[in-house]
Structure formats: C-alpha cells, structure tokens
Homo-oligomer: A and B are copies of this chain.
Amino acid sequence: MANIRDVASRAGVSVATVSHVVNESRFVADETKARVLSAISELNYRRDGIARSLRRSHTGTIGAIISDVTNPFFSDLVKGIDNVVHNLPNRVNVMLCNTEEDPAKERAYLDVLMEKRVDGLIVAPAGDNRAYFQSLIEQSFPLVFVDRTLSGIDVESVEVDNLGASASVIRHLIDQGHRRIAVLKATLQANSIGNRLSGYEQEIAVAGLSTSLELVVECASDIVSAQVGGTKLLDLDPLPDAVFCTNNFMTLGMVRAINARGLRCPEDIAIAGFDDFLWADAFRPRITAVAQPSIEMGEEAARLLMSRIAKTRSGPPVHRLLDTSLIVRESSRPRQLSQSLASAPTGDRAPSERV
C-alpha cells in the first residue's frame, strides 16, 4: 500500500502538500495539485485512517451497545442511528454490539470499544456496570443511554414514558370491559420494563381492581420462554380477561400460547402489548399495542451524541422523552362483542384507531 511519502516523491512535492491536497486544508497551486492528484491515482493511494486517527485523536467511529439486533425494536434503533451518522459531512461509522442483556458481555464490549477509541457511545444498559459508566461520565466521555436508564447515573438519555404508556393500555383494557387483567413480563433489569409493570399496577389500583400475584408471570425475554410463561397464564382458573405483554417478544409468545391451546384472541382472551410491529396491520389477530418511535429514538440519540462529540453543545445532560401512541386494534376488544362478531368476516373495514 502506497503511503503519503510515496505520493510525495512521485509528485515531486513534500508530504505536507500531499496532505493538504487530500484534506483540502490549505491552498495548493493548480498545477501542483494536478501532479499530486495524478500521483495519487497512479499509486492507488488511500489515506490511512488509523494513522490519521492517531494523529488527530478521534476516530470517526461510535459504538452502539444494544441487547439484540434481531429484536425489531433494536434494529430500528440501529437504523435510526445509522441514518443520522451517515449523513454527516464526515461520515461516522458505528460498531454494533449485542449484549443479550448480559452485564458481563456489556462490560467486555465497553472495554474493547474504549480501547478502539470510539468517539462516543450509545447504549441500552443491561444493568450493573454503573461504576464503569460513572467513570466515563467523569471523564466527560460522550455517552447517551437509550430505551432505559440506570438509577443514580445522570447521563443523556432518550426514552419513552413507559409508565404512562402502559397505564394508558391498561386503562384502555379496562374501558373495554376487561377486569381480570394479567401481565406477561420479561425478566430484565431494565427500568423500562419495571416502569411498564408499575403502569399496570397503578391503573389496576386506580380502577379499584384486585390484583393477585398469579396474574403476573415473569419469564426470560425470548419467544420460547414467553410461550411457556403465557401458557401458565392460560392455566389460571378462571382465565384472565386480558393480558398485557411488556414487550414484543412477550406478545409473540402469548399469541403462540393461545393458538397452541386452540383458544382465540380476542374471543377467549384479549391481548395488548408494548411495541408495534411492521406486520401488525397485515396479520390476525391484529394486536393493540403501544407504538414506540423506535427509529426516531435512534436518530435522536445519535444527534445528541454527535453534538456532544462535536462540542456544539455543552451543559448538563438532557433527557428526551419521545411520544408513544396507543394503536387500538381488534386484539383488545371486549370479549362479548368479539364473540357476537366472531361469525362475521373481519376484513379491514374496522380501521385501527390511534389514541
């Protein structure tokens, strides 16, 4: 690989001149510039970003530490990050890391990324690495949390009002006449999930409904576990009227559990969940859900981070709370109504309403 010196000697100029034409960082006479340019193309020279980063002490690379790209919520997040970061004049790249909610893995990623000298970090913290994050903040290293936060850590964040949003789903369920409302909850340290549960508890209390421990089933955040957890809910006697699923995988597992039992939704049991899906409008049952602006969350996180990196912004950390929308579809319908309608074909005549 040709380096800047090779180019310089071939063009009969100094390395400084080559550097300046490559970076357009100072005036170079047309004739000189032409010689340099042709030397560059003859030698197939490409500037070495590593040497450049060493010299300039920033890399044009950021890290994104999330739980799992395979989860549509997180892939949207990543897409959002990429969207803004690659439209910058000096294109920034993102290193993607999947923690699978394991704090040890998260820690390991944090170590490599810092060693690789990323300019900043967007993370959906799995929990536990508080001390590490705290020390990053003290060095005022650019960091933004997304989807969740860690209590006691004051850092930039972009989230959603998890408590309020789930309270609104529960309210909706109650309005539809459901009384015995269960929840299928992912066992994650993340406060986002905790807040969703609190929203449920709050609204149940407000409505004066009795809650019971058996109505809250907790399980690992994957579809298979969710189906097992969902089945437990279906073993309850009497059957719950409705179940609130704390994230997309919980919903998927719950629907599978219902199908496996030969039950129907919402005729036998209603569902409402967190996270909307691409295909939610296309397939049956159409699920009532809180839609998070997942792509925008990624974009906003990236914007926040980039402005910190560029130092175009300073001051105390900002905390963004983006709006969700409750998308009401058939899965949360009153059971009686559903049953009486069950024989009628369900085309798309009943459009989803956004609340």
Chain A residues with a Cβ under 8 A of chain B:
44, 46-51, 53-54, 59-61, 68-70, 72, 75-76, 78-79, 82, 86, 91, 93-98, 108, 112-117, 135, 223, 252, 255-256, 259-260, 262, 264, 277-279, 281-285, 345, 347-349
Contact = CB atoms under 8 A, between A and B. Distances in A.
A82 B61 contact: no
Nearest to A294: B70
Contacts of A69: 69, 75, 78-79, 82
Contacts of A223: 278
A68 B59 contact: no
B279 A117 contact: no
A77 to B, nearest CB: 9
A98 B86 CA distance: 9
B98 A113 contact: no
A282 B252 contact: yes
- Among A53, A96, A264, A285, chain B packs the most CB atoms within 10 A around the CB of A96
A248 to B, nearest CB: 9
A102 to B, nearest CB: 11
B79 A348 contact: no
A262 B256 CA distance: 25
Given A69-B82, A70-B75, A93-B97, A49 B115 contact: yes
A279 B277 CA distance: 10
24 contacts: A46-B114, A46-B115, A48-B54, A50-B116, A54-B54, A61-B95, A69-B75, A69-B79, A69-B82, A70-B72, A75-B75, A82-B98, A91-B112, A93-B97, A93-B112, A93-B116, A223-B278, A252-B278, A255-B283, A256-B281, A259-B348, A262-B348, A279-B283, A284-B285
B79 A98 contact: yes
A13 B113 CA distance: 28
Contact of A347 (B97, B252, B259): B259
Contacts of A256: 281-282
A50 B60 CA distance: 12
Contacts of A117: 48-50
Contacts of A53: 50
Contact of A285 (B59, B259, B283): B283
Nearest to A111: B46
A276 to B, nearest CB: 13
Nearest to A115: B49
Contacts of A348: 259-260, 262
B54 A78 contact: no
Q: Report the 3 A-B pairs with minimum CB-CB distance, sorted nearest first.
A: A283-B283, A262-B347, A49-B115
Contacts of A347: 259, 262
- Among A51, A262, A281, A282, chain B packs the most CB atoms within 10 A around the CB of A282
B282 A284 contact: no
A75 to B, nearest CB: 5
A72 B79 CA distance: 12
Given A255-B282, A284-B284, 19 more contacts: A46-B114, A48-B54, A49-B116, A50-B53, A61-B116, A69-B78, A78-B96, A82-B96, A86-B98, A91-B112, A93-B113, A93-B116, A94-B96, A256-B282, A259-B282, A259-B348, A260-B348, A262-B347, A262-B348
